[in-house]
Amino acid sequence: MSPRAKGDLTSRRHILVADEDPKIVEFIIRTLREDGHAVFHAYDGMSAFELAMALGDAAHLVISNTRVGGMPGVDLVYLVRSRLPDLPIMYIANINRSTPEIESKLPRDVPIIREPFTPDELRSMVNSLLLGTSGPANMPNEIRDREAQTD
């Protein structure tokens, strides 16, 4: 199977990953590059924001973790949205740090993927965001079921 065949998208997209955990960053980069995407990363919140601003309209998606080097992920989401309001953003709920109180502060159109997640779960959510079909009705059953368990 060719790397391009794993994802649903046929064009290369620019994706920014904001996370302070090098293992998570490496996992996400490897998975999304296998699908042909250009993946950028930042280990701290301000660098992530600056990178998103530098990419501007060329950015197609931001993936933020619960905490991004000195900045809560929720704050990064709102900071990016203040300048790029239509940019899709995905939130990674860190297994040790994310709480329902934190997640309730996220905009409703920011989907949450919970650690640990598989490459296929990541691809599914990324593809739905890039294609503009994100939301609970369009999530794979295993992710939607996990989301419902936390409500």
Domain for residue 24, yes or no?
Answer: yes
Compare 2 and 123 and report the one with higher pLDDT. Answer: 123
Give residue 42's pLDDT.
97
- CATH number of the domain to which 15 belongs: 3.40.50.2300
* Number of domains making up the chain: 1
55 part of a folded domain: yes
| 1, 118 contact by CB (below 8 A) | no
Domain assignment present for 5: no
| 71 located within any domain | yes
- The model's pTM is 0.82
pLDDT of residue 80: 98
For residues 64 and 86, give the distance between their C-alpha atoms in angstroms, rounded to a whole number: 16
- 44 in a structural domain: yes
Provide the pLDDT for residue 120. Answer: 97
Asked if residue 70 belongs to a domain, the reply is: yes
How do residues 125-136 score in pLDDT, each as one tens digit? 999 999 987 644
| Residue 137 clears pLDDT 90, i.e. is over it | no
Q: How confident is the model at residue 30 (pLDDT cuts 50, 70, 90)?
A: very high
- Domain membership of residue 113 as a residue range: 10-149
Cβ-proximal residues to 14 (8 Å cutoff; 6+ apart), any chain: 37, 38, 40, 55, 58, 59, 60, 61
The whole-number pLDDT of residue 111 equals: 97
Query: Which phi and psi angles does 9 have, rounded to 5°?
Result: -95, 150
What is the per-residue pLDDT across 79-89, written as a single tens digit (0 to 9) for each? Answer: 999 999 999 99
